[in-house]
A and B are shown apart, each in its own frame.
Chain A
């Protein structure tokens, strides 16, 4: 019940296309859903996040869509660029237990 399931494991998208990464969770007590971006040789860094009382959040080319009833959320990268090539992790936090649960990650490669 503490898991966050992320798909796909890897993704190849043409430059200018839309990259979509999906995550699903079971525990309805999760209270915050961040996405982290990791470039080779670096640690993950917070990219964008959403609270469960909001259905969508947009920051530049990055959008989180959140479906509370389906217990799913997704990251959309519009006009994908080669510089977006990285590993993306979705996560869910349980603030009352001071916990954050990460998905297994998606390796995104944007073709030039």
Chain B
């Protein structure tokens, strides 16, 4: 079974720009979660989608948004990028909350 894939793997953007990251979950997994990982803050939960609906949301500003398509693939968008948005963005898919399968992440650098 193919694992979770994320594209692109690396991205460099300029402050003020917007960015869209993509995640393809494991086949059959309907839940997709997004996390921001930074050295000082660990894994911070952004949001979770299940069957195209946002089911849970973390404490991030409205510049961070996401969506899920009917095939369970998910995208997250960050508008008006700030330097502090530089991070590793991880996507995880799951059948239940008990086990999350993470992708390799997208390394975003904002200059």
By a beta-carbon cutoff of 8 Å, the part of chain A in contact with chain B is 32, 34, 36, 41-46, 49, 89, 93-95, 97-105
Contact = CB atoms under 8 A, between A and B. Distances in A.
Given A43-B4, A43-B105, A100 B41 contact: no
A104 to B, nearest CB: 4
B97 A98 contact: yes
Closest 7 CB pairs of A and B: A43-B102, A104-B42, A93-B97, A102-B43, A105-B42, A100-B97, A44-B102
Contacts of A105: 42-43
Given A46-B99, A99-B56, 9 more contacts: A32-B97, A43-B102, A43-B104, A46-B100, A93-B97, A98-B56, A100-B100, A103-B42, A105-B42
Nearest to B35: A102
A102 B46 CA distance: 12
Interface string B84-111: 0000001010001111111111000000
> Which of B31, B90, B99, B101: most chain A Cβ within 10 A?
B99
30 contacts: A32-B97, A32-B98, A34-B99, A41-B104, A43-B4, A43-B90, A43-B92, A43-B102, A43-B103, A43-B105, A44-B90, A44-B102, A45-B101, A45-B102, A46-B99, A46-B100, A49-B98, A89-B42, A93-B97, A94-B97, A95-B96, A95-B97, A98-B31, A98-B55, A99-B56, A102-B42, A104-B42, A104-B43, A105-B42, A105-B43
A43 B6 CA distance: 11
Nearest to A95: B97
A94 B48 CA distance: 14
A41 to B, nearest CB: 7
Contacts of A32: 97-98
